[in-house]
Every structure is written in structure tokens, then in C-alpha cells.
Structure 1
Amino acid sequence: MSTKTSDLLAAAAPRTVAVIRGISDDHLDLPTPCSDYAVRDLLNHFYQAVVNLRVLAAKQQPEWVEEPDHLTEGWRDRFEGEIAKLIEAWSDPAALEGDSPGMGMPQETVGNIALLELTVHGWDLAIATGQPFQPAPEALPPIYAFMEQQGPTARERGLFAEPVGTSSSDASEIDSLLALTGRHPAWSAGA
């Protein structure tokens, strides 16, 4: 069984998993576009987000605990496994029904958060570690629509920075999305 959400997650996941697998131990202390996070910190945050979003798909209450270091032996395999479980959890049509008891918002919105996390943090980690990243094209329109709708509230809660302008009126879809999340599409560690 699958849902539109799980299909989009399944399209986005291999691209992000490839980036995660391409991160070497030498990359872990590098800065990321998320100014509060080095690569290690962002990976730990992202891992915990994937686990919590899987729990939310089952309409259970996740543990919002301080993020422990998940980057122990075999972390890349575990990360890939958790992303697979995330997709599976959102493939149940019941996952998209009603409101989230853990987030107090429609389950479909929570599913869009999962897609946003996979795509935007995939880009964050790729750009921080010098890897290419091409998002799943079918994932961008729903994420962009989600950010236009939910972005103001997320910014009020400190989850995103204010939108930034792009350097061109014909910016790519991913650059437009990144700008909407407060990221500079041309970010580099040295800038």
C-alpha cells in the first residue's frame, strides 16, 4: 500500500540517503547552512526528526528529548533504515487522517514536514560536504506550497529564518524553496 506522501518520500529518500552515505568522518565538524549546526549536529537533529516523524505517522507522541549522538558504529546504515521505516509509516492511508495528537495539526501537514526535512536537510548536508544534490522534482511543488502556507507560523516559532531573495528572477525551483526557508541558495562554508 502507498499514499501520495509515501510516494513523494520514496522519490526524495534515495537522493538524501546518497548524500548521507557520502559523508565521511572528516566532514563531521564542517559548518552547514544551518548556522547553529555543524554537519555532526545537523545529522543528529535530522536523525531524531526522522524517528519522530515516523512515530507521528502512527499518531503516537514522540519523545522530544535532547538529541543524543546517533553517529556511532554503523550510523549510515541505521539512518538509511530509519528513512525506510519513515516511508513505510506514511504509506498507511490512516497516517494521513485527522489531526496529529503530537503536533496539533493535520496529519497531511506533518507528512509534508517529513518531505521538507528529507529534501532541505539533504541539500544542507550536500552543500556542506561538497556533494551534488538534485532533489526529486515531484517533491518541490508540494513543499513550496507547504512553506508558503506554514512558513509564517514556522518563522514565528523560530524554526526558519526570514526568506531571502534569490539572485535571479529565473531561479530554479530548489533555489526558490531554499530562499523561502531562509537559506541562501549560493551558501558556501567560506562565505
Structure 2
Amino acid sequence: MSQNVDQPVYGIGELLAVAGARAVPVVRALPDGRLADPTPCTDYDVKGLANHLLHVIVEFQKLAAKKDSDFTVTPDYVGTDPGWRERFAEETGRLAAAWSAPGAEDGTTGTMNMPARIVGSMVLLDLIVHAWDLACATGQEYRADGDAEPVVEQLAGAVAEMAPTARAMGVFAEPVPVAEDASPFERLLAATGRDPHWVRD
């Protein structure tokens, strides 16, 4: 299928800046008293997911620069740094800048030995989906419309490509059925194994 020449092509760094702008207010509003609450990402409570997401954001800056990342241990940013919410905002800005640098999307990256744009899409997916996870877990609204629509569009294609491998590795659960009138973001969440209408039990 030929690409519509009138359709804009967005850089990963540009999309990360948009996703970051949606994620930062959610993280800043996470109450200390809700850190042990469950999230739609069943492997993590709020604190664990915040630590995971911040570590992903830090390490994927290295991958943008074609350096090796280290995911063997996730530091306890939340438990050891009183300013972790502001650090999240700062690191999210650095992530967008790293993936906006010349050459960041070219070739393969780091020990993953995968196309750089796919690697960038992986952190983009984590940023938008885990921000939604955290918002749902703490009763916040998360919207992926307006200027976030190109993010969802980019990720729809990336998730379709990554899904079989991600499910085999246990990263994605089986897709969740959605209504015919589901939004593109609801379909994206469902493709990762999340119920777009998740509520805490």
C-alpha cells in the first residue's frame, strides 16, 4: 500500500514529547497514600510501575545514542528520592531530546539489535500506556486525543508488528475484545491485553 504523501511523518522524539506532556501531570498527581494500590498492569502496584517507567525512560535515552542499556535491576527511585516526580519530568524531557537527536532513528540500537525506530516505539508505548495505567489506578483522567492522536496512530502499527513476539514473551496478555465503536486508543490498550474500562476491584 502506498503512503499518502499528504500524511505527515512524525519523528519518535516529537511523539515522545507529546506523550511525555500527557504523562508528567499524572505522575505529579500520584498521591503518596496510593503507592501500594493495584494497577491495570498486573505485575506492578503504583510504586512498582512508577519505578519501572522511570527506569525505562532513563535507559532508553542510552539506546537512542546507540549505547547499551541495563534492565537487570530497577532502582527504587520512589523510595529513595523525595523529588522523584520532578525527576520523572526531567528525564521525560531528556528522553524526547535524545530521540530527536540526528541519527537516533537510524540503523539498529544497543544490545537489542533492533531497528531504532521500533525501539523508539517501544518506549513510546510504555510511556503512553503506563501513564494510563497510573491514571486509572489513582482515579485520574487520561486522554489520548487531540495532539496525542499521531502517537496512537504510530503505536497501532508498531503494536500490530510486535504483538506476536510480545505475547510469546509474556509482555502482552491476550487481546481484550472491544466494541465496534471503540476509540483508537481503546483499541490500542486492548491489543496490549488491557481492559480499556478497567476499574479497581
Is it true that 1:96 corresponds to 2:76 in the alignment?
no
2:63, 2:69 within 8 Å by CA — same for their partners in 1? yes
Is it true that 1:86 corresponds to 2:95 in the alignment?
yes
Give the superposed CA RMSD. 1.0
Equivalence for 1:34: 41
Residue 101 of structure 1: CA displacement? 2.6
Is it true that 1:165 corresponds to 2:177 in the alignment?
yes
Equivalent-residue separation in structure 2 for 1:117 and 1:106 (angstroms): 17
Residue-by-residue CA offset, 1:134-174 (whole Å, 9 max, x unaligned): 121120011011000111111111111111101x1110111
SS at match of 1:29: coil
Query: Following TM superposition, where does structure 1 have runs of at least 4 consecutive aligned residues deviating by more than 3 angstroms?
Result: none
Equivalent-residue separation in structure 1 for 2:93 and 2:180 (angstroms): 37
Residue 65 of structure 1: CA displacement? 2.4
Q: Alignment partner for residue 15 of structure 2, among 1, 5, 8?
A: 8
- Shifted more, 95-104 versus 14-23: the winner is 95-104
Structure 2 counterparts to residues 149-160 of structure 1, below 5 A = 149-160=161-172
Q: Alignment partner for residue 176 of structure 1, among 160, 166, 187?
A: 187
Unmatched tracts of structure 2, length 5 or more: 1-9
Equivalence for 1:24: 31
Aligned pair count reads 187
Residue 118 of structure 1: CA displacement? 1.1
Residue 102 of structure 1: CA displacement? 1.9
Is it true that 1:105 corresponds to 2:132 in the alignment?
no
TM-score by length of 1: 0.95
Residue-by-residue CA offset, 1:2-48 (whole Å, 9 max, x unaligned): x7111111111111001001101011011000111100000011111
Residue-by-residue CA offset, 1:29-88 (whole Å, 9 max, x unaligned): 110001111000000111111111111001100122221210121000111111011001
Equivalence for 1:74: 83
Residue 122 of structure 1: CA displacement? 0.8
Is it true that 1:186 corresponds to 2:197 in the alignment?
yes
- Shifted more, 99-108 versus 173-182: the winner is 99-108
Equivalence for 1:56: 63
Equivalent-residue separation in structure 2 for 1:12 and 1:64 (angstroms): 22
SS at match of 1:95: coil
Percent of aligned positions that are identical:
43
SS at match of 1:177: helix
SS at match of 1:34: coil
Unmatched tracts of structure 1, length 5 or more: none
Equivalent-residue separation in structure 2 for 1:12 and 1:101 (angstroms): 23
TM-score by length of 2: 0.90
Equivalent-residue separation in structure 2 for 1:109 and 1:52 (angstroms): 15
Equivalent-residue separation in structure 2 for 1:67 and 1:4 (angstroms): 28
Residue-by-residue CA offset, 1:88-115 (whole Å, 9 max, x unaligned): 1001131111111321110010111121
Equivalent-residue separation in structure 1 for 2:192 and 2:137 (angstroms): 17
Equivalent-residue separation in structure 2 for 1:125 and 1:67 (angstroms): 18
Equivalence for 1:134: 143
